[in-house]
Amino acid sequence: MHLVQLLLPVYDNAGAAFPKALYEDVRRELVDRFGGITTYSRAPAKGLWRDGGGVDRDDIVVYEVMADALDRAWWAGYRASLEQRFAQDEVVVRALAAERL
């Protein structure tokens, strides 16, 4: 089993909040495909990373789904779709091995 996490930005590059409909679409798509989702959106997480000489930051929300199998090709296409929708150079989508206890 895999836990797949999607780190979605809260604001665009100009600092404007993305419309709620974008997040609702992602939630619906993931529930339809995987049967459920966990969202961490009440207090956005802070992401920091080095880019050249400075440090960039982002406010993000985290979506998680559990999948029995990891379809890497589907996830690569979905990540590319998210990058386009959210106008991002990269949207982080990561998978962790998970065990149901």
Per-residue tens of pLDDT for the chain, all 101 residues: 999 999 999 988 888 999 999 999 999 999 999 999 999 876 566 555 456 666 456 788 999 999 999 999 999 999 999 999 999 999 999 999 999 89
Domain count along the chain: 1
pLDDT of residue 15: 85
Residue type, 30: L
- Sheet (strand 54-67) strand order: 38-51, 54-67, 2-9, 92-97
Which CATH number characterizes residue 33's domain?
Answer: 3.30.70.120
Q: Give the range of the structural domain holding residue 51, as residue numbers without chain letter.
A: 2-97
